[in-house]
Chain A
């Protein structure tokens, strides 16, 4: 019954969604790699970015793709300030404190959104929302193709920053050896805040690519955080190439699972993978053995 003619478009759909998952996971894995904590506020931050994109379109009429140069710097600045002003201060040098602080921030942000924007599910309608691109007979929606391309470009920029700049070297140094980095004169607090900022900037990009074909409500981030967390675990904690590949795998598993098992049960594959990875390859695909 499952013909190739529908498997192929489903695979492409999965790949495009996977690219967005990868983008969200990249931010998460960067923050994990450097700060050694899972940022529980990741989903809430994504939700805030989505609202930003929504209101730019709804109030100012700015197209989501044109909003990229606005949303990315704003998210970066918010991330930097959040790490410098709140998370770093409240952690008192203890990793488990950071965990709790980010959890707290996520609760505050979600309820703030509930208060400010109410619990409505909002969508935007752009001229291209329902446009399609014919890829070898498969009709793939245009915003998804754009999201795919955009996610790859953003990931490339991120890798360039991390592996090609002094800041990147500093980030990697802090990730490997905090004390050592401090000894050679790296401003660790600044690097931490930069990493957090870049992590949230990834979410800003993801929000711009997502919204034309998605929706936003105060709890929209929760679903993404679980998936992004699975992607990070699958790829290996702190591994960029792992996050990219993991994103694609999860996207495809979700899409094909949805085809076979139905929309409601389709996501089960993601969490089966999550459990399987933890059982048989806890370091992930690209992670180093602890």
Chain B
């Protein structure tokens, strides 16, 4: 009993100490200068990503994309309508956990940010956008593909890239085109997905819509994050022997799944993922060229013929150990989208920036989207592309307007 009481006392003391420390920090370093900087000086933008934790690989690339854009904008003279105010990015880490993301939004609000950008994972975006809505902070979602993110009527939330219902709808459409042109060799499908919002939601959409197009979904297999052993899942795949395997998971698990499939000697007619890692990742293609060859992915992709995209790709690839992934270019573009809105808002005011985003018709990007048009927070022109790894490079194969090369389907290993 006494141990219990002293523990409670200890907790109480330590909580109040932490609170006091936090309050003094806020007063000492953050609160006061933010009042000054509200009228002049740099404009504060919160940029949150899962920089550590299970999603750190994607989170760090996301941050990189945002960093490049912020420094480019600042070097080019900042926000001109605000007298050349520089962007002062408040870099924050959601540690791959939604609740930490929420805490970070609270901190960014205290720091007096005018807008927030990022989130990366659906589960994190869902939590952070809601937390930001409480303070009417405009929020640009960089990736977060779950439909729910823009379906809750939050006026502050804007997503530049397509959500998973758009991507899976387009993904199924393109898969059907590929299969029909090839004489319909593929009839059966197994979906392997990760357990959180993104994987589960995508898998549900695919499992709902694929049968209507004449495909039999033999099984939907869920796995945890992180998973370090896919032997059992691949054993099941071998037993079912589907024509197509559709993975919907994050990078590490995608890589391990595909490598284990190769290890166990299982090669279906196609590995066609929807929003899933490999065929959109230069890292994967570089590290495991033989395993990567032929895999397909319906995912976020830039217009590969656009000079600005090619220039950015060169810039990123010149950096040590960095890869030009959708995390990088989507965040890069989202910073510019937000900068355009602030430019037009001519204000640091959150409501003014929210209005500017809502009326955005921004077209100076290299994505195949056309000018931005937000309906309920979703950029309705946003579309994915189908990619295939061919000869050690990622090439766009569909839609025809963007295609660099002809698709190879089914793939002959």
| Residue ranges of A at the interface with B (Cβ–Cβ < 8 Å) | 1-3, 5-6, 9-10, 13, 100, 118-121, 123, 130, 132, 139-141, 213-215, 217, 255, 258-259, 262-264, 266
Query: Using an 8 Å CB-CB cutoff, how does the interface string of B226-268 with A read, 1 for contact, 0 for none?
Result: 1111011101101100000000000010000001100111000
Q: Contact at A120–B52, with CB atoms within 8 Å?
A: yes
A6 to B52, CA, bound (A): 37
25 contacts between A and B (CB under 8 A): A1-B239, A2-B239, A3-B239, A5-B239, A6-B236, A6-B238, A10-B231, A100-B3, A118-B53, A119-B95, A119-B96, A120-B54, A121-B53, A121-B54, A130-B259, A132-B263, A139-B265, A213-B229, A217-B226, A259-B235, A262-B222, A263-B221, A263-B223, A263-B233, A266-B232
Distance of A21 from chain B, by nearest CB (Å): 14
State how many angstroms separate the Cβ of A132 from the closest Cβ of chain B. 5
Say which residue of B52, B226, B260 sits within 8 Å of A215 (CB atoms). Answer: B226
Chain B residues, CB < 8 A from A141: 231, 263
**For B95, what are the chain A residues with a Cβ–Cβ distance below 8 Å?**
119
Known interface pairs A120-B53, A130-B263; A10-B222 also in contact (CB < 8 Å):
no
| Complex-state Cα separation, A255 to B232, whole angstroms | 7
Complex-state Cα separation, A214 to B230, whole angstroms: 11
For residue A259, which residues in chain B have a CB less than 8 angstroms away from its CB? 232, 235-236
B227–A263 contact, CB under 8 A? yes
Contact of A139 among B52, B233, B264 (CB under 8 A): B264
CB 8 Å contact bits of B359-393 with A (1 = contact, 0 = none): 00000000000000000000000000000000000
- B56: interface (CB < 8 Å): yes
Decide if B260 touches A130 in the complex (CB within 8 Å): yes
Contacts A10-B231, A213-B229, A214-B228 aside, 20 further interface pairs with beta carbons under 8 A come to A5-B239, A6-B239, A9-B231, A13-B232, A118-B53, A119-B53, A120-B52, A130-B260, A139-B264, A214-B229, A215-B228, A255-B232, A259-B235, A263-B221, A263-B224, A263-B232, A264-B195, A264-B222, A264-B223, A264-B224
Contact at A119–B52, with CB atoms within 8 Å? yes
A-side contacts of B264, CB under 8 Å: 132, 139
Option from B53, B228, B232, B265 in Cβ contact (under 8 Å) with A258 = B232
Q: Which B residues form the contact surface with A (CB < 8 A)?
A: 3, 52-54, 56, 95-96, 195, 221-224, 226-229, 231-233, 235-236, 238-239, 252, 259-260, 263-265
Q: Measured between alpha carbons, how far is A6 from B260 in the docked complex, in Å?
A: 15
Q: How far is the CA of A217 from the CA of B264 in the complex (A)?
A: 27
Query: How far, in angstroms, from A265 to B29 measured CA to CA in the complex?
Result: 48
Identify the closest chain A residue to B260 (Cβ). A130
The CA of A123 and the CA of B228, in the complex, are separated in Å by: 9
In contact, B232 and A139 (Cβ under 8 angstroms): no
In the complex, chain B residues whose CB is within 8 Å of the CB of A13? 229, 231-232
Q: Is the CB of A121 within 8 A of B223?
A: no
Contacts of A2 on B, CB cut-off 8 Å?
239
- Nearest first, the 5 A-B pairs at minimum CB distance are A6-B235, A118-B52, A119-B53, A258-B232, A263-B223
Q: Please, which residues of chain A bring their CB within 8 A of the CB of B221?
A: 262-263
Give which listed residue, A10, A118, A130, A140, contacts B232 with CB less than 8 A: A10
Report the bound CA distance from A136 to B238 in whole Å.
17
State whether A139 touches B263 (Cβ < 8 A).
yes
The residues of A that contact B52 with a CB separation of less than 8 Å are 118-120
Q: How far is the CA of A256 from the CA of B238 in the complex (A)?
A: 15
Cα A217 to Cα B95 with chains together (Å): 13
What chain B residues lie within 8 Å of A255 (beta carbons)? 232
Considering only CB atoms, which chain B residue lies closest to A254 in the complex?
B232
B112 to chain A, nearest CB (A): 27
Residues of B within 8 A of A132 (CB): 263-264
List A contacts of B56 (CB < 8 A): 120-121
How many Å lie between the Cα of A120 and that of B50 in the bound state?
10
B404 to chain A, nearest CB (A): 31
Complex CA gap A252/B328 in Å reads 43
Min Cβ gap B7→A in Å is 10
**Complexed CA–CA distance, A259 and B231 (Å):** 10
Residue of B nearest to A129 (CB): B259
Q: Which single residue of chain B is at the shortest CB-CB distance from A258? A: B232
Given A123-B228, A130-B263, A213-B229: A9 and B235 interface contact (C-beta under 8 Å): yes
CB-defined contacts of B228 to chain A, threshold 8 Å: 123, 213-215
Docked Cα-Cα span, A137 to B265, in Å, equals 11
Q: Which residues of A contact B231 (CB under 8 A)?
A: 9-10, 13, 140-141
A139 to B259 alpha-carbon distance, docked (Å): 13
Residues B235 and A10 in contact, CB atoms below 8 Å apart: yes
Residue of B nearest to A132 (CB): B263
Closest chain A residue, CB of each to CB of B237: A6
A211, B235: Cα distance in complex, Å: 22
Taking the closest CB of chain A, its distance from the CB of B258, in whole angstroms, is 11
Min C-beta distance of B6 to chain A, whole Å: 12
Residues of B within 8 A of A266 (CB): 232
CB distance from A269 to the nearest CB of B (A): 13
- Which of chain A's residues have a CB closer than 8 A to the CB of B227? 263
Residues of A within 8 A of B223 (CB): 263-264
Most A C-beta atoms less than 10 A away, residue of B56, B229, B232: B232
Residues of the A chain whose Cβ atoms lie less than 8 Å from the Cβ of B53: 118-121
Q: Closest chain B residue to A257 by CB distance? A: B232
Taking the closest CB of chain B, its distance from the CB of A90, in whole angstroms, is 13
